[in-house]
Amino acid sequence: MTQYLIRRLLIGIPTLFLVSVLIFAAMRVIPGDELSVLFGQDEGAAKISDELREQLLADLGLDKPIWVQYGMWMGEVATGRMGSSFWRDESVGEVIARRGPISAQVAVLAVLFSYIIGLPVGILCAVKQDTWMDYVGRVMTINFLAIPNFWLGTLVLVGMIIYFDWMPPLEWEPFWVTPWTSLKQSLVPALIMGSAQAATVARMSRSSLLEVMREDYIRTSRAKGLSERITIYRHALRNAIIPVITISSVSLGFLLGGSVVIERVFQIPGLGLSMIEAVQDRDFVVVQNLVLLYAFIFVGINFLVDVLYAMIDPRIRYS
């Protein structure tokens, strides 16, 4: 198993390298000069003298060959600074350290909600197959899969403002300062983000559990006189949960994408809002580092899923 995990880690290295090259190249081929980011429009940058332009490019490290700039960026990534924002007097590493825990808090709550809601619904639909409970659960999961997060978030926000006179707080309270206030601020955004994930968990757990319940060892368990509860939770669910973990790891990527919109709707000062602000300001240093961070999270999640396989199912062995 150790050799397998080492191979999985090594596979992640070229993935991160390819992502870094693609985003680095994309930030250099978009229309517009880098100095226009600092001086407004291209017309404003065009008024700069050639001497001042060369000096500014040298100060920013943009006068060097493209591969040298990439090497400098990787060096900054290795040190944790990741370069400096054009508009903020702080490094990208400081932005991630300050805003990352906020996005992580909302994402973790969304994952918890997805399993707390989705797994019981999937089990109930499988146990009560083709009953009214099954039909209601399937209709609800299809609806939450079809509804975009940004539309649902906007609808909930407008409804809470109109009917409950509630709106998102202007100042976010960190969890380590006021835990209860911070949790109350993040519950609604996390529930909206986790709704589609919960629907995915419910549908996948239902399908997987129905397949496992038709296996011979489940019939043997029932023939031995074990209760239905023990048969479902101790024998069937443990084997049915593996595909659910697989699809959930893929769906976590949608949480990262959805966080950009949800954080904008609820004005959560996390990494998603930082991404939107950086794109609007054409702060390519922040954009390329946040994209690389998201890619690193993807690779890390997939690695953790591979570890969970062996922990949940002892039959899985790696050579």
Is the pLDDT assigned to residue 62 strictly greater than 70?
Answer: no
| Counted domains in the chain | 2
- Out of 12, 47, 79, pick the residue that ends a domain: 79
Q: What is the pLDDT of residue 39?
A: 59
Q: Report pLDDT digits (tens) over 44-59.
A: 445 666 676 666 666 6
**Shared domain check, 161 and 113:** yes
Dihedral angle of Cα 283, 289, 294, 298, to the nearest 10 degrees: 150
SS3 category, 2: helix
Does a structural domain hold residue 317? no
Does a structural domain hold residue 87? no
Looking at per-residue pLDDT, the higher value among 48 and 134 belongs to: 134
How distant, in Å, are the alpha carbons of 37, 73, 86, 191, 284 from that of 278? Answer: 11, 17, 9, 26, 7
Does a structural domain hold residue 11? yes
d(CA 115, CA 95): 30
CATH no. for residue 148?
A: 1.10.3720.10
Q: Report pLDDT digits (tens) over 227-285.
A: 777 777 777 777 777 778 777 766 666 676 667 778 888 878 888 888 887 877 777 78
Residue numbers of the domain that contains 246: 99-312
CA 219 to the chain's CA centroid: 40
Q: Report pLDDT digits (tens) over 200-225.
A: 888 888 888 888 887 777 778 778 77
Q: What is the pLDDT of residue 44?
A: 47
**Shared domain check, 25 and 139:** no
Does a structural domain hold residue 90? no
Is the pLDDT assigned to residue 101 strictly greater than 80?
Answer: yes
Give the CA radius of gyration of the chain. 24
**Shared domain check, 180 and 295:** yes
| Mean pLDDT of all residues in 93-108 | 83
**Shared domain check, 180 and 34:** no
| Mean pLDDT of all residues in 173-188 | 78
**Shared domain check, 33 and 127:** no
**Shared domain check, 250 and 127:** yes
**Shared domain check, 173 and 273:** yes
**Shared domain check, 165 and 44:** no
d(CA 86, CA 54): 17
d(CA 294, CA 274): 13
**Shared domain check, 126 and 54:** no
Token pair recorded at residue 141 = 């999961």
**Shared domain check, 126 and 74:** no
Looking at per-residue pLDDT, the higher value among 5 and 161 belongs to: 161
